[in-house]
Amino acid sequence: MKITWLGHAAFRIETAKAKILIDPFLTHNASFAGLDRKDAVEGVTHILLTHGHGDHVGDTVEIAKEKGAVVLANADLASWLGSKGVEKLEMGNTGGTISFDGFTATFTQALHSSGQVDEMGVAHSLGSANGLMMHFDDDMSVLHMGDTDIFTDMGLTNELHQPDIGIVPIGDRFTMGGAVAALACQRFFDFKHVIPCHYGTFPIIDQTPDKFVKGMEGLKTRVETPAAGTTLSY
C-alpha cells in the first residue's frame, strides 16, 4: 500500500486493485500548489468523500468526469454530485458499508457540518459529516477521520474496526487541535501509524503539526508528518 498526502485532507491511496482519492481538494489548496495534478489523479478508480464542504469535495466533479471514477459519498452529497453530472455514484450513510473490488468503506461518525453555498448564494445542506473506515483485502486498514472533534464513541470505532493507520485532523478552529487530536489517538485508538492533516493550508488554522507531535511523544504509534506530495509505503 502507498499513501500520498496531497495537502489539507486530500490523500491518494494505491493498492494492487485500486487507486483512491480521498477528499480531492487540489485547486486552491495552498499545500498542493507546485505539485503535479497529472500524477495525483493518474489512473484513479475511486473518489471517497467524508463530507460536503468545498475544501473536501474539491475537484471531485472534474476528476470523476475525466477518469470515470466511482464516487462514494453520503446520500445527500451523492445526489447533489449527480446533479453536477457525476455518473458513477455509490451512496451510503453513517454506519453503512459499501464493498468494492479489493476493499470496503464504512461511514463512521464525525462531529462536524456539511454543506455549500452555490453561486447564487443559496445554502445547500449536504448530509452528514463522516469519517471513512477502509478495510483492504491484503493491506493495512485505514481510518480517515474526516473533520471532527474528539468524542467518546471513537472507542467504538476502534472496537469495531481496529484500524492500523489513522488519518487525523489537527488544525484547530474547524476541527480538533493537535493536543486534543493526540488525546483522541491515545485514549480511543491503537494505531500502528498516524498521519496528521488539515493544517497549514489556510492562515487561520495551525500551520505545523508540532502540537500533535508533542502530544504523541512516548507512544508506540509511529507519527508520520510527510511533506505534501510525499508517498509513504506500508
- Per-residue model confidence (pLDDT) at position 85: 97
pLDDT band at 146 (very low <50, low <70, confident <90, very high): very high
| pLDDT, mean of residues 89-114 | 98
| pLDDT, mean of residues 138-144 | 97
Cell representation of residue 105? 468503506
The residues near 73 (Cβ < 8 Å, ≥ 6 apart) are 48, 49, 52, 81, 89, 90, 91, 127
The per-residue pLDDT for range 175-185, each reduced to its tens digit, is 999 999 999 99
- Per-residue model confidence (pLDDT) at position 211: 98
The per-residue pLDDT for range 176-212, each reduced to its tens digit, is 999 999 999 999 999 999 999 999 999 999 999 999 9
pLDDT band at 95 (very low <50, low <70, confident <90, very high): very high
d(CA 70, CA 82): 12
- Per-residue model confidence (pLDDT) at position 122: 86
Are the beta carbons of 116 and 73 closer than 8 angstroms?
Answer: no
| pLDDT, mean of residues 1-13 | 98
pLDDT > 90 in the chain, percent: 97
What does the mean pLDDT of the chain come to?
A: 97
- Indicate if the alpha-carbon torsion angle 101, 140, 8, 122 is positive or negative: positive
The per-residue pLDDT for range 29-58, each reduced to its tens digit, is 999 999 999 999 999 999 999 999 999 999
Residue with cell 487530536: 181
- Per-residue model confidence (pLDDT) at position 163: 98
d(CA 56, CA 75): 16
Which long-range contacts (C-beta less than 8 Å, at least 24 apart) are formed by 56-60? 56/9, 56/23, 56/25, 56/146, 56/147, 57/23, 57/25, 57/81, 57/116, 58/10, 58/23, 58/24, 58/25, 58/26, 58/27, 58/29, 59/24, 59/25, 59/26, 59/27, 60/24, 60/86
Cβ neighbour number for residue 101 with a 10 Å cutoff: 9
- Per-residue model confidence (pLDDT) at position 134: 98
- Classify residue 136 by burial, with Cβ atoms within 10 Å: 0-12, 13-18, 19+: buried
- Per-residue model confidence (pLDDT) at position 118: 85
Q: Say which CATH class 2-112+123-227 falls into.
A: alpha beta
Residue 120 has pLDDT above 90, yes or no: no
| DSSP 8-state class, residue 172 | S
- Per-residue model confidence (pLDDT) at position 124: 87
